[in-house]
Amino acid sequence: MADTFSQIYIQIVFAVQNRKALIDYSWEEQLYKYITGIITNKGQKLIAINGMPDHIHIFIGMKPTCCLSDLVREIKKSSNTYIKENNLTKTKFNWQEGFGAFSYSHSQIDNVYNYILNQKTRHKKVTFKKEYYEILEKFKVDFKEEYVFEFFED
């Protein structure tokens, strides 16, 4: 779009269905590269991607022509198919419904980038449930407990 200027930075967070730890370290990099391709093919800019066996964080620079819900739906649908077609896990794999999306200013890019890249270190001390609730509280997101990701006791 001519004469359209924007700076939109979004962190996307979503989990494996039932928070099962199914993303194995042996193929997570392969999965992240595949998701990177989806984001790039949709005309968006990947800044960082990382996660744990039960969830992932994606940080993008988003163009105003992008519909975030459509992008996340495509990432989940295509990566789900990719995991199944490549037999990356022996058990049934699905992403949980819903996702978190949080916006940041340009001055926060380095902090969010480092936060995402350091997921494995962070989760040695903090559970995903605690992390996710901290994000919701930080952004003052109103939520109902029954609509937050299904969590099993950590």
Please check whether residue 73 lies inside any domain of the structure.
Answer: yes
Confidence of residue 151 (pLDDT cuts 50, 70, 90): low
* pLDDT value, residue 154: 46
Q: What is the CATH number of the domain that holds 59?
A: 3.30.70.1290
Angle, CA 143 vertex, CA 141 and CA 145 arms, to 5°: 145
Give me the percent of the chain exceeding a pLDDT of 90: 75
d(CA 120, CA 50) in angstroms, rounded, equals 9
Owning domain of residue 135: 9-144
pLDDT in tens, 39-92: 999 999 999 999 999 999 999 999 999 999 999 999 999 999 999 999 999 999
pLDDT in tens, 137-148: 898 888 777 767
Number of domains in the chain: 1
* pLDDT value, residue 114: 98
Please check whether residue 92 lies inside any domain of the structure.
Answer: yes
Please check whether residue 118 lies inside any domain of the structure.
Answer: yes
Please check whether residue 150 lies inside any domain of the structure.
Answer: no
Please check whether residue 52 lies inside any domain of the structure.
Answer: yes
Q: With beta carbons less than 8 A apart as the criterion, state whether 30 and 85 touch.
A: no
